[in-house]
Amino acid sequence: MQTSTQTTDHMMRNYIIGFGLALVLTAIAFALTATKALGLTSTLVTIAVLAIIQVVVHLRYFLHIDFKSSPRENILALAFTAVLIVIMAGGTLWIMFDLHYRMMN
């Protein structure tokens, strides 16, 4: 049986690993934009992939959601979050393109 100290140490180790991964992923994205090492399209695709990996890192290490045996509530919460993000990002793009169209006339 695990003691509370072992559990606390395990949780702290997970938080440190998650923080390190998040920090590295963010540093890579900033370095790509600062050095302009890749072309524009390659940089955008790489940053998008890094952002998806960042979301997975946060879900796994900070929210403690594993994708092997998630209860139904976790799956519903993730689906609701995804719908909200799509609505917010889609609405933002819609507004920006509409404003661009109106400014061009």
Condensed to tens digits (0 to 9), the pLDDT of residues 14-73 reads: 899 999 999 999 999 999 999 988 888 999 999 999 998 998 899 888 888 776 666 777
CA atoms within a 13 Å half-sphere pointing along the CA-CB vector of 58:
11
| pTM of the shown model | 0.66
Structural domain boundaries of the chain?
1-64, 69-105
Cβ neighbors of 65 (< 8 A, separation 6 or more) are 59, 74, 78
